[in-house]
């Protein structure tokens, strides 16, 4: 063969090598079920052909693999349709009726997207395999399956009151519910996947379980990030809750999803995205202030806690919190059960629920933000503190006349700056991770990271004036000044006096 012909033949072979490499990688991707879709999401070819397609109003089309459909199509997971994501917020924001069911699907999808993107960029060096992907997706899907009725009110307000401060967490119950679902429905799943998924769900709590292995710790950062609080659970609920409440959301999680990178077994973010990360935490704090701890929402929550407390003896709600086979049967419909029951034992609880329906709510009297220098040693204020601050008057208050709510609003790390726990990298050629002091970014960033807002309510309209005055007296006695910004409006006092 002439030399020129040999040269052309060799050149053709070299030109064909990238094509061969691509075809081989495509074959591997198809075999492992990790081929990218043309719309930008990293779902598998197998997903598209054999999975169930669900249309989500936030993320578009979500594909559920057959193994995850086995969990979704159980009565325990379907129960999440009857748990509103925001509990009682829809009593103030009527659009906030979305459920934990759709939120769980959203977290499943974002968890899948996150682990697939990491694999696409760093899969070989990190050794991400099919079991890792399945585990992360399972944790995202089932992270809230142990939630009780009315969002966090059940575990943070109701149970501590009736069980004398007993600590119960929905994460712990989620772990137990996973085992219960697998056993009850005979779902065949890798035991290691099941074990690690449970560890990922509880990874952000103070009672996080010891992790199975010391490698691939970055996988535990995806669903419930205990290191710095940046996880797909927050990504989903911030955008979903904002949209449902008719509020704008300036935080764009896609930017962080696109640029995250694993360095030394930890998910890190580009230094250029510092303000995007800050906006995540700031958006969360803003949602807490304007939505989750809205003064009227808290008034309704206080009434529901009182109603559940009065109903507990008859309905034996607390007897169900340690038994998955009983627990999955309680949801938000318990309020309707109380309201429509003719049982005499539920009369007091029923009266409170009917007051909520008629908008005869506990009356917000006033609030103040705890001074910064008092936060470290702040002791919770009780109705007794308010009653004991009352001076002589025509009405003598009793503890049962007053309700107190203490709203804690922070950036996920209490009085600490959460960005101190976030690791950044300079560019994609860099192998170093580092923290960034906020003063190097902007002098407009906050220097303090927590608020505690004390609100006081009168349980009857005619007591607003007496409770308001006692609340002011408490502030003068405790802080030597009136800490509240505004006085209780005179027209509110008069309206309530006339309504009595």
Return the active site residues. Answer: 170
Q: Provide the phi-psi class of 377: left if phi over 0, else alpha when psi is between -120 and 50, else beta.
A: alpha
What are the C-alpha distances in Å from 180 to residues 85, 99, 197, 205, 471? 23, 22, 14, 21, 48
Hey, how many other C-beta atoms are within 10 angstroms of the C-beta on 169?
Answer: 16
Structure tokens at 466: 């007496």
Three-state SS letters, 47-91: HHHHCEEEEECCCEEEEECHHHHHHHCCHHHHHHHHCECCCCHHH
Q: Are strands 424-425 and 266-270 parallel, antiparallel or unpaired?
A: parallel
* CA pair distance 212, 113, nearest whole angstrom: 23
CA dist., res. 268 & res. 61, Å (int): 28
d(CA 254, CA 78): 28
| Euclidean distance between CA atoms 419 and 230, whole angstroms | 10
Would you say 202 and 211 are in contact if contact means Cβ atoms under 8 Å apart?
no
Stated as kind and residue range, the H or E segment containing 293 is none
What does the radius of gyration of the chain's CA atoms come to, in whole angstroms?
27
Structural tokens at position 191: 């035991």
3-class state of residue 415 by DSSP: coil
> H or E segment at 450?
strand 450-458
Pairing of strands 52-56, 402-410: unpaired
What 8-state DSSP symbol labels residue 290? I
Instruction: Say how far apart CA 251 and CA 106 lie, in whole Å.
Output: 17
From the list 215, 205, 262, 255, the residue with the least C-alpha distance to 235 is 255
> Residue 83 and residue 146: Cα distance in Å, rounded?
11
The H-or-E segment that residue 456 falls in is strand 450-458
């Amino acid at each position: 063969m002439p030399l020129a012909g040999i040269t052309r033949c060799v050149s053709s072979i070299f030109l064909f090598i990238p094509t061969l490499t691509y075809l081989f990688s495509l074959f591997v991707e198809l075999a492992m079920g990790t081929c990218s879709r043309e719309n930008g999401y990293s779902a598998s070819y197998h997903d598209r052909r054999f999975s169930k397609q669900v249309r989500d109003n936030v993320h578009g089309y979500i594909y559920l693999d057959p193994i995850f459909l086995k969990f979704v199509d159980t009565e325990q997971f379907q129960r999440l349709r009857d748990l509103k994501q925001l509990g009682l917020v829809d009593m103030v924001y009527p659009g906030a009726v979305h459920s934990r069911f759709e939120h769980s699907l959203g977290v499943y999808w974002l968890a899948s997207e996150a682990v697939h993107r990491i694999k696409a960029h760093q899969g070989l060096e990190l050794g991400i395999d099919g079991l890792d992907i399945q585990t992360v997706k399972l944790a995202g899907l089932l992270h809230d399956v142990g939630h009780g009725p009315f969002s966090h009110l059940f575990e943070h307000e109701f149970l501590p009151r009736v069980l004398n401060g007993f600590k119960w967490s929905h994460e712990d119950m989620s772990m137990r519910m996973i085992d219960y679902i697998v056993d009850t429905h005979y779902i065949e799943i890798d035991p290691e996947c099941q074990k690690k998924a449970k560890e990922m769900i509880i990874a952000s709590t103070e009672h996080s379980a010891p992790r199975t292995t010391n490698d691939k710790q970055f996988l535990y950062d995806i669903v419930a990030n205990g290191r710095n609080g940046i996880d797909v659970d927050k990504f989903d609920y911030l955008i979903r809750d904002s949209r449902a409440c008719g509020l704008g959301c300036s935080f764009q999680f896609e930017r962080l999803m696109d640029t995250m990178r694993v360095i030394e077994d930890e998910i890190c973010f580009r230094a250029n995205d510092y303000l995007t990360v800050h906006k995540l935490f700031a958006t969360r704090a803003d949602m807490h202030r304007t939505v989750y701890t809205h003064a009227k929402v808290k008034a309704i929550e206080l009434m529901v806690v009182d109603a559940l407390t009065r109903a507990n003896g008859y309905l034996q709600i607390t007897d169900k919190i340690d038994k998955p086979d009983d627990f999955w049967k309680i949801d938000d419909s318990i309020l309707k059960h109380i309201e429509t029951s003719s049982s005499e034992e539920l009369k007091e609880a029923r009266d409170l629920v009917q007051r909520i329906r008629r908008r005869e709510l506990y009356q917000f009297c006033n609030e103040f933000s705890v001074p910064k220098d008092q936060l470290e040693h702040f002791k919770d204020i009780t109705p007794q503190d308010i009653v004991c601050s009352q001076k002589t008057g025509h009405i003598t208050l009793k503890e049962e006349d007053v309700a107190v709510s203490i709203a804690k609003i922070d950036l996920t790390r209490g009085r600490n700056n959460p960005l101190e726990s976030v690791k950044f990298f300079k560019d994609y050629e860099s192998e170093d991770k580092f923290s960034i002091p906020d003063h190097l970014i902007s002098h407009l960033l906050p220097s303090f990271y927590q608020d505690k807002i004390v609100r006081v309510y009168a349980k009857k309209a005619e007591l607003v004036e007496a409770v308001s005055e006692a609340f002011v007296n408490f502030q003068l006695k405790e802080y030597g000044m009136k800490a509240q910004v505004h006085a209780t409006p005179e027209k509110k006092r008069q309206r309530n006096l006339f309504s009595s």
